[in-house]
Each structure stands twice: as C-alpha cells, then as structure tokens.
Amino acid sequence: MPLVNLGFEHRFVPARPDGAGRPPLLLLHGTGGDENDLLPLGEALAPGAPLLSPRGKVLENGMPRFFRRLAEGVFDVRDVEARAHELADFVLAARDAYSLAQPVAVGFSNGANIAAALLLLRPEILAGAVLFRPMVPVEPATTPNLRGTKVLIGAARHDPIATPAETERLRGLLERAGADVRVDWVNAGHGLTGIDVANAKRWLG
Ligand code: MLT
C-alpha cells in the first residue's frame, strides 16, 4: 500500500500485532525480480514485521537490478556508489513516511550486493543485514564504522557466482569495519534453499 513513490516503485506492508517490536525488513530482490518477490520470504523470516520492498531501477535486458554491471560479476563501481546513496535516501524517506525504525536488510544475490554496498558506504542506514549469496560490491575508500551492526551471510560452497573466496573477502571487509558477522554455509549453488531460510529465521530470532 505505498502512499507515494518516494523515488522507488515499492511495496510496503505495515506491522501486524504479532510482529510488534520486530525491526522492519528492507527486502532487496535479485536480478530479474521485483518489489513483490521477497514479500513471502520476509513474512516467513519475521512474521508480522513491517516489510519495505523497493524495485531496483536499473534494467538489464528488461530485468530489474539495483546497479549496473559490465558483465557477470563485474560491477560498474560508480553506479554501485550512486545507487547505494539513492537507495539509502529512499530508506530514510520511507522511515519518515511510514514511521519506521531502522531496518534490517534481507537481500538475495544482486539485492545482497546492494545491501552490502549500503553497509560499506552508508553504515548508518541499516540495523543489520541478512545477505544471501553476496559478493564484494565496492571497496570503500575509508573504512566505515559498523560496530554494533550484525550481519548474517548465507553462503553456498558450490556457488559459481558468489564464490567461497568472495564470501571470505566480504566477511573480512565487514569485520575490519567492526561488524559482528556470522557466515552460514550450505551445500548448494547460487539459488536459495530451505536451509538458508531456516538459518536466517533463527538468526533473526
Ligand atoms: C550481481 O550482478 O549483483 C551478481 O552477479 C549477482 C547477480 O545478480 O546475478
């Protein structure tokens, strides 16, 4: 029920009584997804929590994404930076419009990458993040202060895109910034599994 666009096409689902006290989830879809995709995942992870779900503004052969890439796994870093700031400003506007607390991001693939960019470039925006199959989207010029920010990385041992080495590189960057990082590994590829969802639900509490 978005009242206004706030700069991004999006869906907003208000809190239900059973979700009282839960932080809002900022749901960030993968390449080719949209603002509807992750609403069921958000409800499964945090029943009754407010859900804020924007649609990425970049189109790649008609498929929405959150930033431009030059090839699979090769990112347009200037676009990553600009889009991360644009998304951060949307989150602030949405918090104001819907009276929301600081959100926890839940992102998959390209959505996990823009969530990681938010953490690294605008560390004040997120209360925490669940990153399913993330890569390193950008190496910030200065180390952000992520002390007190909890991050769960849902990684897969056989992911050819978000490889184990890339996972460890991101973990290192976030830990050096002071984030409290947990990595849960599954024996799977790039696609999300039921085990990932169960792990994230447990982590969110
Ligand atoms: C990205 O482009 O963000 C990653 O390669 C994952 C993907 O969206 O396929």
Q: Is residue 3's pLDDT more than 80?
A: no
**To which residue do tokens 């080719």 refer?**
32
Average pLDDT over residues 92-110: 98
Pocket-testing residue among 135, 159, 190, ligand 1, by greatest number of atoms within 8 A of Cβ: 135
Task: Say how many Å lie between the CA of residue 91 and the centre of ligand 1.
Answer: 22
Catalytically active residues, by annotation: 109, 159, 190
Cα of 26 vs centre of ligand 1, distance in Å, is 18
Q: Which residues contact 65 (CB under 8 A, 6 or more apart)?
A: 31, 32, 56, 58, 59, 110
Task: Tell me the pLDDT tens digit for each residue of 175-195.
Answer: 999 999 999 999 999 999 999
Sorted by where each begins, the domain ranges of the chain are: 10-204
Q: In the prediction, which pLDDT does 32 show? A: 98
CATH class of 10-204: alpha beta
Residue nearest to atom 8 of ligand 1 (CA): 110
Closest CA to 155 of 173, 175, 179, 181: 181
SS3 17: helix
Q: Give the model's pLDDT for residue 150.
A: 98
pLDDT of 1 strictly over 60: no
pLDDT on residue 5: 86
CA-CA-CA-CA torsion sign (5, 39, 84, 181): positive
- Determine the average pLDDT of the residues in 62-79: 96
Banded pLDDT at 113 (limits 50, 70, 90): very high
pLDDT digits over 118-165, tens only? 999 999 999 999 999 999 999 999 999 999 999 999 999 999 999 999
Q: Which atom belonging to ligand 1 lies closest to the Cα atom of 161?
A: 5
Quote the CA–CA distance of 144 and 153 in Å, as a whole number. Answer: 18
Roughly what angle, to the nearest 10 degrees, separates helices 77-98 and 110-121? 80
Q: Which atom of ligand 1 is closest in space to residue 133's alpha carbon? A: 6
Q: What is the pLDDT of residues 19-67, one digit of tens each?
A: 999 999 999 999 999 999 999 999 999 999 999 999 999 999 999 999 9
Total Cβ atoms within 10 A of residue 171:
19
133 Cα: distance to centroid of ligand 1 (angstroms): 9
Q: How far is the CA of 19 from the centre of ligand 1 (A)?
A: 31
Give me the pLDDT at residue 4, please.
76
Verify whether ligand 1 is closer than 6 Å to residue 69 (CB atom). Answer: yes
Ligand 1 within 6 A of CB of 109: yes
